[in-house]
Homo-oligomer: A and B are copies of this chain.
């Protein structure tokens, strides 16, 4: 059974992996997003995440449904949790776990989920900087920077 949740407590990654594990799968791919101490050359001290919660959950369920038939005739089992509220450095902001009988669909679906989540799930973040300032930051610039450095 796939699982989607927005949570305010720390994400229990081991429990998320356990949710998708079973003797019928051969592969579990996962992705964790974590709060980094620097972004765009600014020293970050924490991040505050918020969401349009009903819509975020709906979009995550839509992404799970899309992934179901995209990589193999057998659907992967997918669990996604995104944390909201005040996060500290090193905290896990998002955890995605995907299992499948075979590794290629597990890896493909895991990547699909994080890429789509970053494009369209209505979640926002405000970074807190070492100099005491704060700023709303979005995934467009990050994507642009990534593409330049590839």
Contacts and interface: CB of A to CB of B under 8 A. Distances in A.
A32 B24 contact: no
A29 B31 contact: yes
Interface residues of A, number: 39
Contacts of A14: 13-14
A103 B31 contact: yes
Given A72-B149, A104-B150, A149-B72, A26 B17 contact: no
B17 A13 contact: yes
Interface in A25-55: 25-38
A141 interface: no
Contacts of A19: none
| Copies of this chain held together in the complex | 2
A21 B30 CA distance: 14
A3 interface: no
A100 to B, nearest CB: 10
B25 A107 contact: no
Contact of A107 (B73, B104, B111): B111
Contacts of A110: 29, 107
Given A101-B36, A104-B146, A114-B103, A90 B29 contact: no
A8 interface: no
A126 to B, nearest CB: 16
Interface of A: 13-14, 17, 21-38, 72-73, 89-90, 99, 101-104, 106-107, 110-111, 114, 142, 146, 149-150
